[in-house]
Chain A
């Protein structure tokens, strides 16, 4: 079957098998940031945005993205750099394999809830597993990022 979607801002059209998973589709289209850590929707590594909502691309058929917008970390490089730098400054990226899914979901969190509390952060990201960091460094990184963002927006509103 043929599907059409907007992948990272680019309109693409492709022939797929009915059972093609979204994760395999986007990887086939060069979005290698999307990783597979399990086959049971437990790890969160394959998180992408489907029409701005984070979904597990291992559990979504590519056909379901027909006519819709799909965003991977490749399409959010500036945001990934801005936020990722705070994770890097904790050394919490470690092996990096869970990073794209975790960062996608963190960016989704910030869009829904600009300044989440600690418990909200934990709840929202509970489905993003990481075996290296013990999560503590990721939490420090998120909180440092939020503090920086708050300070920056404070400065900007002072200026205006």
Chain B
């Protein structure tokens, strides 16, 4: 292939490395009103009164809105970017009198500049009736404290939600008789795993600006992965018709799922709609840490039953997920914890997966790369690592005996067939890459430090089966270059480029001859948005098919110009030739001439749109292994080597796929070792800055080495599956098992901080003494 599977430079790369003004705050009008939010200091309270008289007198203040401006009995909405009807409950008001977490919105303040807005924020006098917060998610279900006692709470989809029980969702599913299988298993690993509400921590915080356009419509420019969903969310929040809203996105400074939720859009949207003046909101890092949309905290109880040869007979899982104050992505993330971990074990005769998603007075959780699969895979893979240790079996060997194979039916993956799978090759390759034979399980370095290895497997999906929609419009311009319009959102991942590569491959032109345009609700063809690992697989297929269709149109017009039937011509990317005429010049017409002809007296559209959705969600697979050095004195653990092999089908752009993998792996390592979330007894989050919330720096990691072991997915464009999410999953179990091999202690809660390791080592030494 000429363009697909090639390391093409990203189309916007040089603009980005030279620091051009392409992000929201760079292009926002200079006369924007500055919008900021007054946030609740209480985790659970009713706002009894707001006195804004003094604040309104501050020079430059344009407007202050409180719950009194928002009908409290109006229809609620969700900020989750999901296909309608959203599984996430409609549980929000733009400003709710009932504040439900520390950081919930009490007032929207808009003014001329930051200074006056900051001053006004301090002068607003709020009185609260402080209520007891519900902070322990283990006690949330059926607790007398209700996070959403209101009558107008609404669940649109039967996901087992019940606000009277603090339940955002409940589900039970399974196949075979799990109790019988576990009873007959020679060994059962029965453990509970706990992961925290980690932050995506994209470098660009949430931000949006709004203007009123020529037609009096609300023009929203936002750092979002989901322009179309965003239009609906704003419509629902402001109770204004969708016809009056346009949403587009410029370059996005990272998303990782955070921007699959409309965290910032509704506030300036409301200000601009009310005042008819441009406005913008730029979340501070602190706001992005305390009032955003992090990963769902989960506690997962796993029972893995196996025989003494290490064959996994059955997996039983109960996941308790903490959605926080609002239900964004609550009902859906939890599903992945089971459905994207259990299917890895292809010999299992039974499984059961039960889940509860509960409301608490923490900040709302949302979508974060991996979307529940990360949490589930930590649990299942850690349990299987423990199973291997109990059986004195190598962790790779136990996987080789058990893994799902190409062609297998996966009962826990909605009964789908595993259509493409190189998991076996990934295992072989990673074992070599990390030097497992020499390093497993642990080596004493003779300086108080030990080096140990651990591994884990992962899968994800490629889009949401029969839900996600991807579209592409291609048109031919003067001179025969193309415009590719998409509704998918490049958030740095490079989808503008890889989709252009797919189009170029089909159209036999260079990538430079494809101009990419997106995403804009007014002009882009419909796309669910860039999430759920859908863009390469779902939108990519739409692009491939659209390019094929535009080829037909080009041939049709070309045949007309050649005055011959359409079936007698071929297109080679440069010209349309009449077959059989050979090199005879009279028998061909160039694309440039066809494009020119299309603009004069022509009735054949040189434009095509194709929409794609898939009845399958072919999983990408991955194996990762960590070599971790642990200082037994201080408890410091550092990943000095990480090796991974990924089966994402055909990597459309190996460079970009590799960086996706490397970046995802380091996020996973951060989750395993340093990224902690702690709430105090009043429900206030401690990790509210990059000082406290420690994402890895470049001295916290040795080397990450990624290779591809590609299967070929027939349903994907040129054999491609997804890459974006699967890559975050393996470090959690791999690093955790390496630390077990280093210290002899298993950790069931992340992150595994130096304190925990040092205490565990001290404890063991005491026991041994």
Interface string of B655-670 (1 = CB under 8 A from A): 1101100111111000
**14 additional contacts (CB under 8 A) given A37-B204, A134-B662:** A35-B203, A39-B284, A39-B689, A87-B17, A88-B16, A90-B655, A95-B252, A97-B204, A99-B17, A126-B699, A127-B697, A131-B203, A133-B659, A137-B662
User: Which residues of chain B are within 8 angstroms of A32 by Cβ–Cβ distance?
Assistant: 19-21, 26
B659 touches A95 (CB 8 A): no
Please name the residue on chain A nearest to B691 by beta carbon.
Answer: A40
User: Which residues of chain A are within 8 angstroms of B286 by Cβ–Cβ distance?
Assistant: 39
Interface string of B199-210 (1 = CB under 8 A from A): 011111100000
**Contacts of A86-134 to chain B: CB distance below 8 A:** 87-100, 103, 122-123, 125-134
Flag the segment in A49-57, A60-68, A72-80, A148-156 that touches B: A72-80
A73 touches B18 (CB 8 A): yes
B563 sits at the interface (CB 8 A)? no
**Contacts of B48-106 to chain A: CB distance below 8 A:** none
Report Cα–Cα, A139/B704, bound state, in Å. Answer: 11
A80 touches B202 (CB 8 A): no
Which of B18, B202, B653, B697 touches A95 (beta carbons < 8 Å)? B202
Minimum Cβ distance to chain A for residue B495 (Å): 12
Q: Which of B9, B204, B703 has the most CB of A within 10 A?
A: B204
A7 sits at the interface (CB 8 A)? no
Minimum Cβ distance to chain A for residue B505 (Å): 18
B13 sits at the interface (CB 8 A)? yes
Minimum Cβ distance to chain A for residue B8 (Å): 9
Interface string of B589-618 (1 = CB under 8 A from A): 000000000000000000000000000000
B285 touches A33 (CB 8 A): no
Report Cα–Cα, A73/B16, bound state, in Å. Answer: 11
B665 touches A134 (CB 8 A): yes
Closest 9 CB pairs of A and B: A95-B492, A33-B19, A84-B17, A96-B16, A97-B253, A88-B13, A134-B662, A32-B21, A134-B666
A81 touches B14 (CB 8 A): yes
B441 sits at the interface (CB 8 A)? no
Minimum Cβ distance to chain B for residue A136 (Å): 4
Minimum Cβ distance to chain B for residue A105 (Å): 11
Interface string of B1-22 (1 = CB under 8 A from A): 0000001011011111111111
Interface string of A13-32 (1 = CB under 8 A from B): 00001000000000000001
Q: Which of A38, A39, A95 has the most CB of B within 10 A?
A: A95
Q: List 30 A-B contacts (CB under 8 A).
A: A17-B115, A33-B21, A35-B253, A42-B691, A73-B19, A77-B18, A81-B14, A81-B17, A90-B659, A91-B10, A91-B494, A91-B655, A93-B16, A94-B254, A95-B203, A95-B493, A96-B251, A96-B253, A97-B202, A97-B253, A99-B19, A122-B699, A125-B698, A129-B690, A131-B200, A131-B203, A131-B667, A133-B662, A134-B665, A137-B658
A88 touches B10 (CB 8 A): yes
B516 sits at the interface (CB 8 A)? no
**Contacts of B681-716 to chain A: CB distance below 8 A:** 689-691, 695, 697-699, 701, 703-704
Minimum Cβ distance to chain B for residue A119 (Å): 9
**What is the count of residue pairs linking A and B with beta-carbon distances less than 8 angstroms?**
177
A70 sits at the interface (CB 8 A)? no
Which of A128, A132, A138 touches B254 (beta carbons < 8 Å)? A132
User: Which residues of chain A are within 8 angstroms of B17 by Cβ–Cβ distance?
Assistant: 80-81, 83-85, 87-88, 93, 96, 99, 103
**Contacts of B485-518 to chain A: CB distance below 8 A:** 491-494
Minimum Cβ distance to chain A for residue B340 (Å): 22
A91 touches B18 (CB 8 A): no
B23 sits at the interface (CB 8 A)? yes
Which of A77, A91, A99 touches B659 (beta carbons < 8 Å)? A91
B256 sits at the interface (CB 8 A)? yes
Please name the residue on chain B nearest to A17 by beta carbon.
Answer: B115
- Given A38-B285, A81-B17, A96-B492, verify A123-B699 contact (CB < 8 Å): yes
Report Cα–Cα, A95/B13, bound state, in Å. Answer: 9
B662 touches A136 (CB 8 A): yes
A130 touches B203 (CB 8 A): yes
Q: How many residues in B have their beta carbons less than 8 Å from beta carbons of A? A: 57
Task: Say which size band chain A's interface belongs to.
Answer: 35 or more
User: Which residues of chain A are within 8 angstroms of B662 by Cβ–Cβ distance?
Assistant: 133-137
Minimum Cβ distance to chain B for residue A157 (Å): 28
A43 sits at the interface (CB 8 A)? yes
Minimum Cβ distance to chain B for residue A132 (Å): 5
Minimum Cβ distance to chain A for residue B518 (Å): 16
Minimum Cβ distance to chain A for residue B526 (Å): 24
Which of A45, A103, A127 touches B203 (beta carbons < 8 Å)? A45
Please name the residue on chain A nearest to B693 by beta carbon.
Answer: A42
A129 touches B663 (CB 8 A): no
Report Cα–Cα, A40/B285, bound state, in Å. Answer: 9
Q: Which of A83, A96, A137 has the most CB of B within 10 A?
A: A96
User: Which residues of chain A are within 8 angstroms of B9 by Cβ–Cβ distance?
Assistant: 88-89, 91
Please name the residue on chain B nearest to A24 by beta carbon.
Answer: B114
User: Which residues of chain B are within 8 angstroms of A45 by Cβ–Cβ distance?
Assistant: 203
Which of A91, A97, A103 touches B656 (beta carbons < 8 Å)? A91
Which of A39, A43, A84, A127 touches B14 (beta carbons < 8 Å)? A84
A97 touches B698 (CB 8 A): no
User: Which residues of chain B are within 8 angstroms of A136 by Cβ–Cβ distance?
Assistant: 659, 662, 703-704
Minimum Cβ distance to chain B for residue A95 (Å): 3
Q: Which of B17, B26, B115, B699 has the most CB of A within 10 A?
A: B17
- Given A91-B656, A134-B659, A134-B666, verify A98-B10 contact (CB < 8 Å): no
B665 touches A74 (CB 8 A): no
Which of B255, B690, B698 touches A139 (beta carbons < 8 Å)? B698
B491 touches A40 (CB 8 A): no
- Given A95-B253, A131-B201, A135-B666, verify A42-B690 contact (CB < 8 Å): yes
Which of A72, A91, A98 touches B7 (beta carbons < 8 Å)? A91
- Given A88-B9, A126-B699, verify A98-B14 contact (CB < 8 Å): no
B667 touches A126 (CB 8 A): no
Please name the residue on chain B nearest to A84 by beta carbon.
Answer: B17
User: Which residues of chain B are within 8 angstroms of A87 by Cβ–Cβ distance?
Assistant: 13, 17
Report Cα–Cα, A71/B286, bound state, in Å. Answer: 28
